[in-house]
Structure 1
Amino acid sequence: MSEFRLGVDVGGTFTDLVAIGGGRVITAKVPSTPADQSKGVVDAIEASGLDADAISALAHGMTVATNALLERAGAKIALITTEGFRDILEIGRQNRPALYDLTQRPPEPLVAREHRFTVRERTGRDGVITPLDEASVDVAIEAIRAAGDIEAVAICLLFSFEYPEHEIAVAERVAAALPDLHISRSSAVLPEFREYERFATTTANAYLSPRLNRYLDNLARHLESAGLPEPTVMQSSGGVIDIASAAANAAKCVLSGPAGGVVGAAWLGQLSGEADMLTFDMGGTSTDVAPIANGEAPTTTDSIVAGVPIKLPMVNVHTVSAGGGSIAWADAGGALRVGPASAGAEPGPAAYDLGGERATVTDANVFMGHIANGTELGGRVVISRERAAEALEHLGSELSLDAEATARGIIDVANTEMANALRVISVARGVDPRDNALMAYGGAGPLHACALAEQLGMTKILVPRASGVLSALGLAVSDVRRDLTRPVLSGLDAANSATAEALYDDMIAEACAELDQPDIERTADLRYRGQSFELGVAADDWDALAERFHDAHETRYGYAMRDDPIELVNLRVTARVAVDKPELSEAAPEHEPEADTRAVLVDGDWRDIPVYAREELGRGSRVVGPAIVEFAETTCMVRPNWHGEIDAAGTLILEHSA
């Protein structure tokens, strides 16, 4: 019997599955189950029709950690830190998103002040300054015990990235006294300098790990009872890890779902001959965009998620709250707004006819004919244009607009926000979007792709056959990955290459102890002396580091200071073990596809345009806009002046006629 690799992605509205094996690609989409997301995973597997003994591996991506941060619904935690540094998390940095808004408050720290405890100790650049006072550790332990319902503790001591011995001693003492607590130690979670970011990342890990641990335990039990293999879990960096490592390091999984989509997009882009792309993943709750450069998904260590710095490697994703379920509303000034609130999976958009009454982006698309009345989604939702129209009329009455004008306005507002998100990951970072293709996926991405490409001057769009479940496909083809780092903090000229090589060898040995013959990638974080940020460059050639950094700085910021001294901040190793990738092929159509027609609102006019079923198209099939192509899990709106063809990998390649 064929063995299938599964990828299952739990989103805010739908849970997607892709199974790959025996030359076949099987997909399924079911509504998410917010009360117990693991049930949605089992539902998706049942919907796929696969027997348990046909499944060899299962990779999982989810929004559990993301939602816990957004909703501030993680564990109640404590912090143990160096005496005098109790308020690092509140002091933070001086930069703030609204410089002149005196009323805006920064997000509250994840750990309450009364649960931050200090111990007497101090290390510095040259070692121990004040030995660890074990009596002060015992006082902190008793205070944690007295709090009663603490689930996890973050241990963050000054300079522990260089000298972790005090943190290790504190962790051992806490574990002995309070064995049921989850312990996150900063020298293990993020052994890098910058105390605020290190403290914030470590407390986030403590805050999220108990909840993720419970979810993954529950998922593993459900899968085991169904005779399915233990899942691996997608990290934010774009590779999977075992379930135990994920449960203990929840901060590594904050962007678990979106990372799978970017990995899948990069792989499919290579199959279609596109190495440089902007990815556009529009789901039910939000839209995620990311760059693809030279066929790879770049990572960053400068992410801020829900106001919390997470300085761990993450796929360079930018998220905006504009999804198919984003609710449209009128603000106090009578202006039309979209999001950030979402109708989610329950009750969903009004068109789902599940009790939702407020107009959403999906309702606008349904009213305009982009999504057909009566369409089935996930096997359980049947689209109702009548319900969508009622919701739009209700909102329109607040805006003094009819339903049609309201629908057009919702689409325009959502498109503007999503186009701005694409500019953030391209124009703002020195990348011309016109030099890139747009990879559109997600349940709603292909509906809006042509309009966004026109706003950005892009002339090529890729819509994969599995675009509605691409994040799940990315999970199924994701490599096993480990990311390791060592701090250096020295001038590049003064840095001893032999010392750096020893640190690299140490990290490589650690990676090889966990993974079987991994591929190794070495990078280094560099900055000009006096800068407060750094850039990562490939470090396979030590003598080329300086020139690579100058070039990277000029690309990102528009200038390079080639005569200024350079500092080496961190050394990094990424270890990967590749999984087998399927051979995707698209057969020629058995016959000339016949198109239905549907009335669709196009540029302000109702027009009868052709509607193609994707399963009736094949390699070489052509589409000329305006037209609609209905995929199994999504719909593609091909605007006027766009035309396309299905390539050998099954991807619809759209190009602008101009």
Structure 2
Amino acid sequence: MRPGGLRLGIDVGGTFTDLVALGGGDVITAKVPSTPRDQSVGVMRAVEAAGIEAGAVAALAHGMTVATNALLERRGARTALVTTEGFRDVLEIARQNRPSLYDLTQDRPPALVPRGLRFTVRERMGPEGEIEPLDEASLEEAVSALREAEVEAVAVCLLFAFAHPEHERRVGAALREALPGVHVSLSSEVLPEFREYERFSTTAADAYLAPRLAAYLKNLGRKAEEAGLPAPLIMQSSGGVARVEDAISDAAGCVLSGPAGGVVGAAYVGSLSGHRDLLTFDMGGTSTDVAPILGGEAQTTTETVVAGVPIKLPMVDVHTVSAGGGSIAWADAGGALRVGPHSAGAEPGPAAYDKGGEEPTVTDANLYLGYLADGARLGGEVVLRRELSEEALERLGKRLGLGPEEAALGIVRVANAQMARALRVISVERGLDPREFALFAFGGAGGMHACALADELGMRTVLVPRAGGVLSALGLAISDLRRDYVRPHLAALVGTAEEELEARFAQMERAAAKDLEGPEYARRADLRYRGQSFELTVEAGDLRGLEERFHAAHERRYGYCMEDEPVELVNLRLTATVPVEKPKLSEGPPEGEAGRGKREANFDGEWLEVPVLDRERMGEGSEVEGPAIVEFRESTCVVRPGWGGRVDGVGTLVLERR
């Protein structure tokens, strides 16, 4: 990393690519349309739009959707699987749970590796070690078959390799020697944990994504080098950045690269405003991401399922729904109004963009209802045209028997219902009462829906940061370097010697010290009651209080605990981070009159003439009373009737329900 200079965060979304540059107390922002065919083009355009000299950049952190899109669209590498004889169908057998219990027509997505590309070797490891030696002849047969199959990647998942990886390493070495240029992922390196299906699934995803991710990141690295920029750091799903080579070797850990940046940024800015318990609400052009923040810390989980694929790696606990500004509204066969999951994206975009889109979207509804200004310019290139939104709403309205106003109100209500349901998933279903949290709204469209969602959930405080339209990029710019480590340790907690656990943690810390320079460590452990088939992760810095912390976590999450039941250890986890310098955000005084005039906006079917405020001219102490519209540089906030607030000392608009 270059000494001094600017820290850049660049986040690629489905519709826009956002940039934030921090340094010397300044915050520079830029927003340009995304380039789905090659996201790196949008990245370099964002740097150009910001007018930043390459020599002034100390670090470049990047969050992207390459891995996410490859899973969603099933456009990853041609991948094979090598496993223990008799277990080639573990990926397909899965857990036997149905995606929709009572829908007999719905099936789970197909496995990432088709049956014809799953190969086996004769060997067997057990809990205590080798049961049957690795058969060299079967290994040679598998290598020969893989060579003929012309695959791009191979996932190697042998039984009990999480505890005894010797056979798996020999298979991996043979494949790497015989198939140069083919990516090989070993489950003992990707996810050294028990539970075959989740280990197989995560390793298969890693192999499936790695070649696509490597091609993209190497292309981006070349463009950055040619422009004189530093090598990019890549956002991981766990909430920290990693070097390009580390991101490629941990491809499955990048599937939530984009949303993780927003959660990190929200935790930081929210803490500066004095709010450490938050529900984040990131509404972009394609989807909405929500996540809980407790005590100023982003929460992580190992139970994430992306596009039907379980990935059991530490990831920010984000829940995503397909309700973004570009989500298309449509009428189903029964004549009901639906919103999403299909999105107009950046190309062609909502009807109002005048780029060929003809279907109405959430953005078109917001524009028609007056929340967005007719003729407003987005991302420096897109000009909104209200008459095009009205035409699209009229076409949909005819199919529904509604006028354009009713159609627009219906679209917003349906989208809000989907987003409120998502917020309940990460609060009520986690044992958290949303009324005890503040709603932290960001993303290009977050501020327009925040007050309505807070009303729905009984929340009384909404935070809208100054850089809300580009907060994910801000989160990238302040993210620490991070690596996560895990070691299986299945044993009863009572009777396990502290010295034994200390030695395991010390072993992981030595490995982390080789990967990172001077890291800080956070110890955690996965625990469960004996007989349970799921675990909870709790802090393990003080080993003596481990059991009490587990009981408390179980009570909070599930509403009860069983203090008379024996507790088991399952895994030991270590998070190693190298902190980066965080900027001190501050808000200056108001710059004159913030009013931009008035315009008509529709609230619950009633048209009202409301004031429009320029956020750039507001400052610390500036107040707003709803109904009103506050126009930020990259986003818009709709202050509903009954809400009001002021700008605080770090530039966050703090709204309270009156």
Q: Classify the TM-score, shorter chain.
A: over 0.9
- Distance in 2 separating the partners of 1:538 and 1:471: 27
1:354-395 CA distances to partner (integer Å, 9 max, x unpaired)? 110000000000000100000000000000001000100000
User: Which residue is 2:523 aligned to?
Assistant: 522
User: Which letter maps to 2:12?
Assistant: V
The answer to whether residue 616 in structure 2 is matched with residue 615 in structure 1 is yes
Deviation at 1:592, TM superposition (A): 3.9
User: Which residue is 1:122 aligned to?
Assistant: 124
The answer to whether residue 309 in structure 2 is matched with residue 308 in structure 1 is yes
Give the secondary structure class of the aligned counterpart of 2:145: helix
The answer to whether residue 88 in structure 2 is matched with residue 76 in structure 1 is no
- Distance in 2 separating the partners of 1:609 and 1:301: 46
The answer to whether residue 160 in structure 2 is matched with residue 159 in structure 1 is yes
Instruction: Check whether the contact 1:14–1:31 (CA below 8 A) recurs between aligned residues.
Output: yes
User: Which residue is 2:642 aligned to?
Assistant: 641
User: Which residue is 1:389 aligned to?
Assistant: 390
Give the secondary structure class of the aligned counterpart of 1:527: strand
Give the secondary structure class of the aligned counterpart of 1:7: strand
Task: Single out whichever of 583-592 and 426-435 deviates more from structure 2.
Answer: 583-592
- Distance in 2 separating the partners of 1:144 and 1:494: 47
Deviation at 1:2, TM superposition (A): 6.7
1:563-602 correspondence runs (5 A)? 563-602=564-603
Give the secondary structure class of the aligned counterpart of 1:105: coil
User: Which residue is 2:656 aligned to?
Assistant: 655
User: Which letter maps to 2:211?
Assistant: P
- Distance in 1 separating the partners of 2:298 and 2:341: 27
Deviation at 1:200, TM superposition (A): 0.1
Instruction: Check whether the contact 1:8–1:41 (CA below 8 A) recurs between aligned residues.
Output: yes
User: Which residue is 2:183 aligned to?
Assistant: 182
- Distance in 2 separating the partners of 1:540 and 1:618: 42
The answer to whether residue 47 in structure 2 is matched with residue 11 in structure 1 is no
1:600-658 CA distances to partner (integer Å, 9 max, x unpaired)? 1122111110000100100000000000000000000000010010000000000000x
User: Which residue is 2:336 aligned to?
Assistant: 335
Give the secondary structure class of the aligned counterpart of 1:615: helix
Give the secondary structure class of the aligned counterpart of 1:573: strand
User: Which residue is 1:49 aligned to?
Assistant: 51
Give the secondary structure class of the aligned counterpart of 1:408: helix
1:143-542 correspondence runs (5 A)? 143-148=145-150, 150-542=151-543
The answer to whether residue 524 in structure 2 is matched with residue 552 in structure 1 is no
1:317-367 CA distances to partner (integer Å, 9 max, x unpaired)? 000000000000000000000000000000000001111000000000000
User: Which letter maps to 1:230?
Assistant: A
- Distance in 1 separating the partners of 2:394 and 2:144: 60
1:85-107 CA distances to partner (integer Å, 9 max, x unpaired)? 00000111132232233322221
- Paired residues in the alignment total 656
- Distance in 2 separating the partners of 1:315 and 1:395: 37
Instruction: Check whether the contact 2:595–2:611 (CA below 8 A) recurs between aligned residues.
Output: no
- Distance in 2 separating the partners of 1:384 and 1:204: 42
Deviation at 1:513, TM superposition (A): 1.4
Instruction: Check whether the contact 2:594–2:615 (CA below 8 A) recurs between aligned residues.
Output: no
Instruction: Check whether the contact 2:99–2:107 (CA below 8 A) recurs between aligned residues.
Output: no
- Distance in 1 separating the partners of 2:586 and 2:542: 38
Deviation at 1:594, TM superposition (A): 2.9
- Distance in 2 separating the partners of 1:59 and 1:441: 19
1:273-313 CA distances to partner (integer Å, 9 max, x unpaired)? 00000000000000000000000001000100100000000
User: Which residue is 1:131 aligned to?
Assistant: 133
- Distance in 2 separating the partners of 1:601 and 1:619: 29
User: Which residue is 2:89 aligned to?
Assistant: 87
TM-score, normalised to structure 2, is 0.99
Match of 1:112 among 111, 114, 117: 114
Give the secondary structure class of the aligned counterpart of 2:92: helix
Give the secondary structure class of the aligned counterpart of 1:351: helix
Unaligned runs of 5+ residues in structure 2 are: none
1:531-555 CA distances to partner (integer Å, 9 max, x unpaired)? 1100001111111111111110010
TM-score, normalised to structure 1, is 0.99
User: Which letter maps to 2:432?
Assistant: V
- Distance in 2 separating the partners of 1:348 and 1:393: 18
Instruction: Check whether the contact 2:99–2:106 (CA below 8 A) recurs between aligned residues.
Output: no
Deviation at 1:583, TM superposition (A): 1.1
Give the secondary structure class of the aligned counterpart of 1:220: helix
Instruction: Check whether the contact 2:409–2:604 (CA below 8 A) recurs between aligned residues.
Output: no
1:55-109 CA distances to partner (integer Å, 9 max, x unpaired)? 1100000000001000001000000000010000011113223223332222111
Give the secondary structure class of the aligned counterpart of 1:161: coil
Percent of aligned pairs sharing the same letter: 65
1:566-608 CA distances to partner (integer Å, 9 max, x unpaired)? 1100000001111001111101113243341011112211111
Match of 1:65 among 64, 67, 72: 67
Instruction: Check whether the contact 2:4–2:58 (CA below 8 A) recurs between aligned residues.
Output: no
Deviation at 1:451, TM superposition (A): 0.2
Please report the RMSD computed on the Cα atoms of aligned residues, expressed in angstroms.
0.9
- Distance in 2 separating the partners of 1:417 and 1:639: 19
Instruction: Check whether the contact 1:2–1:22 (CA below 8 A) recurs between aligned residues.
Output: no
- Distance in 2 separating the partners of 1:265 and 1:575: 21
- Distance in 1 separating the partners of 2:391 and 2:594: 35
Give the secondary structure class of the aligned counterpart of 1:285: coil
Deviation at 1:215, TM superposition (A): 0.4
